[in-house]
Amino acid sequence: MSKRRLCILGGCGGIGRSLVAGALDAGYDVAVMDLKATLARHPPPAATFAIDVDGADEASVGRAFTAVASRWGALDGFVNAAGFLIEKHALAETSAQEFDITIEGNLRTTFLACRAALALLEKGDEPSLVNIASGLGAFVRPGYGPYAAAKAAMIALTKTLALEHAPRVRVNALGPGAVDTAFLRGGTGRSDENGAPSLDIAAYSAMIPLKRIAVPDDIVGPVLFLLGPDSRYMTGQTLWVNGGAYMP
């Protein structure tokens, strides 16, 4: 039996690297998409197919998925793990430029990548798409306005795609709480991964019922679940993974 073909956008980020490792262990063929500089800083495993892409640039996304189509012809799975967060501000203190960059880097990237991926998923075997959104998309907190808005829209976009591509392709979202990665420091490729996080991790952990912040490996199992046959009757859903911090 041939391996399932999986593409991970943002596969060199903190969560992305764990997802790539988990998918390889699970027997997937994996294509890793990320910014050229990030691919150079965190080269993916030799067993993967690496493609540089600027997720907010339509032409770049088109070239990246053309490369996947040329190699595989179709996709069985796609994970959108791309995204970033600019320094926290109240909305009244947020510039229009910061707002636009945040929306573009999170929501526009999701739209462009999903549109391109779905054309290949439609040709795949029991295909599944997973957008990694955020708990902030529903459980909003002060200081995260543009990011929360982008992630809420990303969940709405996921639901729309689920309806438009059913029954052929399943489309779901994952809504994690904070995960201790470079994301909390500005994002992989955008910041010092060893710098101080924007979040007080000790205080955050104390408020979580499971009493700790998530690490990337906590996200891998839920994503593989949404990609695989055990979630075959799920589409248009958001799976919340947050240690009990948010219970809708």
pLDDT in tens, 86-116: 888 899 999 999 999 999 999 999 999 999 9
Nearest to 176 by CA among 139, 225, 205: 139
Respond yes or no: is residue 151 known to be catalytic: yes
pLDDT for 230 = 98
pLDDT for 226 = 98
pLDDT for 191 = 46
Quick one: average pLDDT of 109-134? 98
Rg (CA), the chain: 17
The helix-helix angle for 14-25 and 217-227 (nearest 10°) equals 50
DSSP character string of 72-94: HSS-SEEEE-----PPPB-GGG-
Respond yes or no: is residue 144 known to be catalytic: no
Helix (H) or strand (E) holding 52, with range, is strand 49-52
pLDDT for 88 = 86
pTM of the model: 0.93
Nearest to 125 by CA among 157, 84, 77, 61: 77
Highest CATH level, class, for 5-177+217-238 = alpha beta
Quick one: average pLDDT of 191-210? 77
Q: Catalytic residue among 144, 151, 204, 211, which?
A: 151
Q: What is the mean pLDDT of the chain?
A: 93
Angle at CA of residue 218, ends 241 and 148, nearest 5° = 40
User: Is pLDDT above 80 for 245?
Assistant: yes
d(CA 195, CA 192): 5
Neighbours of 121 (CB within 10 A): 25
157-176, pLDDT tens digit by residue? 999 999 999 999 999 999 99
pLDDT for 92 = 96
Ordered alpha helix ranges (H), 104-200: 109-121, 145-165
| CB-facing half-sphere around the CA of 19: CA atoms within 13 A | 31
* Tokens read off for 132: 């990694």
Residue 196: pLDDT band by 50, 70, 90 thresholds? low
Q: Catalytic residue among 28, 144, 147, 204, which?
A: 147
User: Tokens 């203190």, residue?
Assistant: 93
37-95, pLDDT tens digit by residue? 999 999 999 999 999 999 999 999 999 999 999 999 999 999 999 998 888 889 999 99
Residue 197: pLDDT band by 50, 70, 90 thresholds? low
User: Is pLDDT above 60 for 24?
Assistant: yes
Helix (H) or strand (E) holding 71, with range, is helix 58-72
User: Is pLDDT above 80 for 189?
Assistant: no
- Is the CB of residue 117 less than 8 Å from the CB of residue 7? yes
pLDDT for 87 = 82
pLDDT for 200 = 83
Q: Strand, helix or coil at 152?
A: helix
223-232, pLDDT tens digit by residue? 999 999 999 9
